[in-house]
Amino acid sequence: MADRYLSFTGTAPGRFLTRRLGLPRPAELIRWTPERPALPGPLLHLTAGTSALDLGPVLRRTGLAPGDRDPAAVVLDATGVRDVAALAEVHAALHPVVRSVLPSGRILVLGAPLDPADHHQSAAQQALEGFTRSLGKEIGRGRTVNLVRLTDAGAAESTLRFLLSPRSAYVSGQVIEVGGAAVTPPDDWDRPLAGRTALVTGAARGIGEAVAGTLARDGARVVVLDVPAAEADARRVAARLGGTALALDITAADAGARIAAALPDGLDVLVHNAGITRDRRLANMPADRWRSVLEVNLGSVLRTTDTLLARGVLGEGGRIVATASIAGLAGNAGQTNYGASKAGVAGLVRSLAPRALAEHGVTVNAVAPGFIETRMTAAIPLLLREAGRRMNSLAQGGLPADVAETTAWLAHPASGPVNGQVVRVCGQSLLGA
């Protein structure tokens, strides 16, 4: 369903009324298209403190030319900030330029991991988190602000490319940690998944279909998995993408074994997208509504992941991307079952990620969507729908493509140093941290 308020605020009367009445004023976001693969403007590189990072080569490969006037993106290297006094340099660097960042632009702060042996450094670096999230909530005009903690610029190249591009239009207020694992760049950054196989559950429609399409665009051979009742839609999507369809009930006890049998040559990317809602307040929720949501959204994810890892279907360089939700991080009235299942996904990611990497060479991450414009959200009553759209720093709902682009970044072969992360795709929702 079209966001008519967003369209109205783009007109002269809309701008006048929203300004006079103090209403949200969302800006139309710049998203990736083949014709517009990069942000339309220069990149400004600033430093606070003394940094040891060599960012120049990576930043030159983002597709943004350097410049200091009306930047489309600002990168502030604050990895050398080690005490409260150095935080003044963060203010000094960004204060003069923050107003000049173009609409739908990016501010990316680079921080260092917290040093457990130095509480002054840890305090200063943790301060960057509160700073970036606060700036994201005030900057407006479709601009986003994120913090990346890193020790090696090369290990963060896929992350920097993503966050400094139109692909990250609905990702703001996030803190992403990038490890120091070795990275093998893809032969072609435009088709990084060429020669790889990706399976997406719940891919016959909605967000899952968008994820499958984006992974196929990036070169993957996609397996479109959905329930038997959606087999016709799954086959339609698979045919359009040049992939294959797999009809099965992901909650079946043998689902993992059947997936393994369907993939004799193995699997490189597993995207757990299938999910359902059965909303009702706990006092009115029968046990079957509780059970069905937990089984689809969490139980099936645990069982199939365990089976595919144990059988070696996912091996060295593999990627698992699960779907959490803002409801699991912040809670939502009437969704105790759904919130529990999605919080469980976040717990799975944080626990499994280090072991899966050490034992199988596989990374495990999650996306956590906020309000995304789908057929499901279009059925929400008008006032609740409008509240969902406006209660974020970008004052609008996201699109399935926003979740798909974030998933594709986590699935990228150069994203190996990104592990154990739960990345919200929510326009910096005002709910939760």
DSSP assignment letter at 190:
T
Residue 134, number of CB atoms within 10 A of its CB: 12
Residue 170 falls in the annotated catalytic set = no
In the block, residue with structure tokens 């120049």: 56
Say if residues 411 and 21 touch (Cβ distance below 8 Å): no
Residue 54, number of CB atoms within 10 A of its CB: 11
Q: Which of 43, 116, 107 is nearest to 78 (CA)?
A: 107
Longest dimension (CA), the chain: 63
Tell me which of 131, 290, 338, 409 is the catalytic residue. Answer: 338
Tokens of 133: 């999230």
| C-alpha 321 chain-centroid distance | 10
Task: List helix spans (H) across 285-366.
Answer: 287-294, 300-310, 326-330, 336-360
CA 333 – CA 346 distance, rounded (Å): 19
CA 19 – CA 10 distance, rounded (Å): 12
Phi, psi of 82 (to 5 degrees): -125, -5
Radius of gyration over alpha carbons of the chain, in Å?
Answer: 21
SS3 17: helix
DSSP assignment letter at 166:
G
Phi, psi of 148 (to 5 degrees): -120, 125
Tokens of 394: 């970008």
Element (H, E) at 224: strand 221-226
CA 433 – CA 421 distance, rounded (Å): 15
In the block, residue with structure tokens 């299942």: 341
Residue 310, number of CB atoms within 10 A of its CB: 12
Strand extents, DSSP E, 350-408: 363-369
CA 339 – CA 171 distance, rounded (Å): 21
Catalytic site residues?
338
